[in-house]
């Protein structure tokens, strides 16, 4: 099992559990389970398409490896990360990876302008109420959550540094290759 060793990540996972009124029994471990909480997360996260229609229900994604990437148009590292996310989507989509870019711009027009300059093939949604970002305590842009097929958060990554992309790709590939149970 891949473990997150960053102390800040442990704290964030502990707060996620408290957010969902779960006794943090597993807070000493570096992974946390969202499997039991997907329904609550889905209801708290009113994700929409950029034109305002309801989007992803996290329950629908159970059984897939999910890479959730919170981004904004004003974020230079987000510009750098999009080609990497496009590559991941192209290479691993057929193996069960679902990449979701969750936009946090105040104005959807800013996101649309950004996407016109930085086209993507992966799913793009908006978090207009910012409830997902608040619930997951997104503190930096971009912030990504790698979730396994069972709904467990296996890795949280803040920022984007091209020199770390191969390590991240290896982690994602390993999760995608884990047998479905």
Residue 123: the pLDDT is 94
d(CA 144, CA 14): 17
Spatial strand order of the sheet with 65-71 comes to 32-33, 152-158, 143-147, 65-71, 97-103, 123-126
Residues 6+ apart with CB under 8 A from 138: 70, 104, 132
Query: For 26, which DSSP code?
Result: T
Residues 6+ apart with CB under 8 A from 5: 30
Residue 56: the pLDDT is 67
Residue 67: the pLDDT is 95
Residue 151: the pLDDT is 80
The reply to whether the predicted model has a pTM over 0.85 is no
Residue 135: the pLDDT is 81
With H, G, I as helix, E, B as strand and everything else as coil, classify residue 38.
Answer: helix
Taken in order of first residue, the domains within the chain and their CATH numbers are: 7-177 (3.40.30.10)
In the chain (181 residues long), the average pLDDT of successive 10-residue segments reads 52 43 32 44 75 80 91 96 96 95 96 96 93 87 91 88 92 90 68
Torsion angles phi and psi, residue 154, rounded to 5? -105, -20
Alpha-carbon dihedral sign for residues 110, 111, 114, 115:
negative
Residue 131: the pLDDT is 87
Residue 29: the pLDDT is 36
């Amino acid at each position: 099992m891949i473990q997150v060793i960053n102390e800040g990540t442990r704290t964030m996972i502990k707060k996620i559990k408290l957010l969902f009124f779960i006794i943090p029994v597993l807070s000493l471990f570096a992974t946390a389970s969202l499997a039991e909480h997907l329904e609550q997360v889905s209801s708290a996260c009113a994700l929409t398409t950029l034109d305002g229609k309801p989007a992803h229900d996290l329950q629908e994604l159970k059984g897939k490896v999910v890479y959730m990437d919170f981004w904004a148009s004003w974020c230079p590292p987000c510009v750098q990360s999009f080609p990497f996310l496009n590559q991941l989507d192209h290479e691993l989509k057929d193996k069960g990876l679902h990449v979701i870019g969750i936009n946090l711009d105040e104005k959807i027009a800013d996101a649309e302008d950004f996407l016109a300059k930085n086209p993507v093939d992966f799913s793009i949604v908006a978090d207009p109420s910012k409830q997902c970002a608040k619930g997951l305590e997104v503190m930096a842009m971009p912030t990504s959550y790698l979730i396994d097929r069972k709904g467990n958060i296996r890795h949280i990554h803040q920022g984007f540094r091209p020199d770390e992309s191969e390590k991240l790709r290896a982690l994602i590939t390993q999760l995608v290759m884990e047998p479905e149970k």
